[in-house]
């Protein structure tokens, strides 16, 4: 990659309106003194809002119609699928749920299955004993407390066994269309690499992303970031200097980027 392409980017003077494409000679002239280097890096490095705007634009171009990856037909089957996806891939969940939903695709039928039967079916998803117990338990609560329906508030969802804030956020967003920004370890990792959060923890990352992006974009962005992560950015596969978004947001990044864990 030539120097001129490394320093192509959007400057502070007008994000989205000016595109710098400096020649190597100009770049070297700028870097001839420390002062000039500081000036250069200030003017040719995006700030957080610019990085957010660029990232959203690029993700929209790459994934204009991000589909919900977990197969489901209603809020209940989505809730069960999201619960099963903890520490498991969506592909594996989608391979497993047809057998489970053939026996029980609603709280009434699910609560009639023994925990052992559920556990045997969902074993490929991992953590089967605790997930089976949670599925049986939450199905009973849905019947006893919510008239057999999945509730549409964070409070009620997070009171169900096996349902944490991330699972509740996915259900609120994808089943009920409520603006949410579920942050899993992948989104936590990418948001750090793109300089959208300092990555203190997933709660802080969720707050930071919600502050940076408009509410109506949250649900789509959550899916788009997941798709980008899967296609380009694996957990260990990159040091933050390789692909388009990182290179555009951080044209001066030279050292490997080190993530903070969730």
Name the segment binding ligand SF4 (CB under 6 A); options: 144-152, 179-187, 209-217, 232-240: 232-240
Count CA atoms closer than 13 A to 22's CA, side-chain side. 18
Catalytic residue among 184, 200, 215, 261: 184
62 binds ligand SF4 (CB under 6 A): no
Q: Give the nearest distance from C-beta 82 to ligand SF4 in angstroms.
A: 24
- CA separation, residue 2 to residues 32, 133, 139, 200 (Å): 19, 56, 58, 34
Q: Single out the residue of 122, 163, 170, 246 in contact with ligand SF4 (rule: CB under 6 A).
A: 246
Q: Give the nearest distance from C-beta 186 to ligand SF4 in angstroms.
A: 10
Name the segment binding ligand SF4 (CB under 6 A); options: 71-79, 106-114, 171-179, 240-248: 240-248
Do 24 and 231 contact (CB within 8 A), yes or no? no
Residues 152-211 that bind ligand SF4 (CB under 6 A): 193
Q: Give the nearest distance from C-beta 233 to ligand SF4 in angstroms.
A: 3
Cα gap 79→171, rounded to integer Å:
6
Residue 134's DSSP bridge partners are: none
| Token representation of residue 183 | 């942050």
- For residue 213, give the 3-state DSSP assignment: coil
Catalytic residue among 57, 166, 200, 208: 166
Count, residues near ligand SF4 per rule CB under 6 A: 10
Count CA atoms closer than 13 A to 69's CA, side-chain side. 18
**Does residue 166 have an active-site annotation?**
yes
Q: Which residue has the tokens 């070297």?
A: 28
**Does residue 208 have an active-site annotation?**
no
Q: Give the nearest distance from C-beta 256 to ligand SF4 in angstroms.
A: 9
232 binds ligand SF4 (CB under 6 A): yes
Q: Is the dihedral of CA 137, 141, 144, 148 positive or negative?
A: negative
Nearest to 169 by CA among 159, 186, 183: 183
> Where does this chain bind ligand SF4 (CB under 6 A)?
193, 232-233, 238, 240-243, 245-246
The residues assigned a catalytic role are: 166, 184
């Amino acid at each position: 990659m030539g120097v001129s392409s490394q320093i192509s980017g959007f400057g502070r003077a007008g994000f989205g309106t000016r595109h710098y494409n400096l020649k190597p000679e100009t770049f070297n002239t700028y870097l001839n003194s420390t002062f000039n280097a500081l000036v250069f890096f200030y003017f040719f490095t995006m700030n957080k809002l610019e990085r957010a705007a660029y990232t959203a634009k690029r993700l929209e171009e790459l994934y204009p119609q991000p589909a919900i990856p977990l197969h489901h037909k209603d809020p209940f089957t989505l809730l069960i699928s999201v619960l099963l996806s903890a520490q498991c891939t969506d592909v594996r969940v989608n391979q497993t749920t047809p057998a489970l939903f053939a026996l029980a695709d609603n709280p009434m039928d699910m609560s009639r299955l023994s925990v052992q039967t559920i556990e045997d079916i969902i074993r490929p998803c991992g953590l089967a004993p605790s997930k089976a117990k949670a599925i049986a338990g939450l199905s009973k609560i849905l019947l006893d407390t919510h008239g057999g329906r999945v509730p549409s508030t964070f409070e009620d969802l997070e009171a169900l066994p096996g349902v944490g804030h991330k699972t509740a956020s996915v259900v609120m967003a994808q089943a009920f269309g409520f603006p949410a920004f579920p942050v899993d370890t992948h989104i936590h990792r990418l948001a750090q690499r793109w300089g959208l959060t300092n990555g203190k923890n997933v709660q802080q990352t969720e707050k930071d992303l919600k502050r940076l992006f408009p509410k109506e974009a949250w649900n789509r962005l959550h899916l788009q970031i997941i798709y980008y992560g899967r296609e380009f950015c694996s957990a260990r596969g990159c040091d933050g200097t390789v692909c388009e978004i990182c290179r555009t947001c951080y044209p001066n990044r030279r050292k490997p980027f080190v993530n903070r864990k969730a």
